[in-house]
Amino acid sequence: MTPQQREQQHEQREQALTMQVFSISAGMVGVCLTGIGLLRLLASHSHVETLGDDILAADSVLFMLACVLSFWSFKTDRHLKALRRAVDAVFLLALGCMVLVCAMIAYALV
């Protein structure tokens, strides 16, 4: 395999991964909004306020940012490597926030 073919194969793999981040991020915005609704419903019935809904609101913004950045990476050729690194970083940060909220919910319900 020539270096040019390897580079082309790497580029195709990167684009496929960015496409997956795009679609997963869009779905995770909906998951965050559903979680906010459920936490608000729980808070109204139990009169207990949590930070979970606030973190989920910020998390939905992070997932939306990952979605927008990945979409932008499909439309541009400039600074593509840096843009894809930003997509990865924002997506992983958003996933980390989601794990934090899940842990808060798990320990609050016990």
**SS3 of residue 20 by DSSP:** helix
pLDDT at 49 over 70: no
Low-confidence winner among 17-31, 38-52, 84-98 (lowest mean pLDDT) = 38-52
**Interatomic CA distance for residues 62 and 97, integer angstroms:** 9
Can you give the residue range of the structural domain that contains 36? Answer: 3-109
Taking residues 4-27, report their average pLDDT.
94
pLDDT at 77 over 80: yes
Enter the pTM of the model.
0.88
Tokens (6 digits) for 32: 């965050």
**Interatomic CA distance for residues 70 and 17, integer angstroms:** 10
Domain count, the chain: 1
Taking residues 40-59, report their average pLDDT.
83
What distance lies between CA 101 and its chain's CA centroid?
14
